[in-house]
Amino acid sequence: MKKIIVINLLLISLFSLTGCKKDEEKILAENIKKMHLTGNLVTYQAYYHNVVEYDKKAGTGITHLFEENRKLFAEYTGTIKLGINLSNVKVSVLGREINVFIPKASVIGSPNVDKDDFKEENFIESREGINKNPITADDSAIAFDKAQAEMLESASRDEELLAKAQQRAKIIIEENIIQFSGLNQKDYSIDWEYEQ
Partner 1 sequence: MESKIRLVNNKWLIPLLLIFIVLLVVLFVNFNKEGQIKMKVKSTLEKIVEKSDLETVTFTYNVIAKQCRDNEVCDKTTNDINNFKYVVSCKGSIVAGIDFKKIMVDVNQKNKKVVIKIPEAAIIDEPNILSIKFLNGNELPASELPNARKLCQETIKEKSSVDEKLIPAAKEQSIIVLEEFYNQWIKAYNSSYSVEVK
Binding residues for partner 1, rule: CB under 8 A, are 41-51, 53, 71, 73, 75, 77, 79, 114, 121-128, 154, 164, 167-168, 171-172, 175-176, 178-180
Q: What's the rounded Cα separation, in Å, for the pair 10 and 141? A: 81
Is the CB of 21 or the CB of 33 nearer to partner 1? Answer: 33
Q: How far is the CB of 45 from partner 1 (least distance, A)?
A: 5
For 42, 80, 102, 131, 177, the CA distances from 36, given in Å and listed in that order, are 16, 25, 15, 63, 11
In this structure, the number of other CB atoms found within 10 A of the CB of residue 55 comes to 10
Q: How far is the CB of 6 from partner 1 (least distance, A)?
A: 42
Residues written for the chain: 196
Q: How far is the CB of 73 from partner 1 (least distance, A)?
A: 6
Q: How far is the CB of 76 from partner 1 (least distance, A)?
A: 10
Q: How far is the CB of 7 from partner 1 (least distance, A)?
A: 42
Is the CB of 77 or the CB of 156 nearer to partner 1? Answer: 77
Q: What's the rounded Cα separation, in Å, for the pair 181 and 190? A: 11
50: which strand partners? 76
Q: What's the rounded Cα separation, in Å, for the pair 177 and 91? A: 10
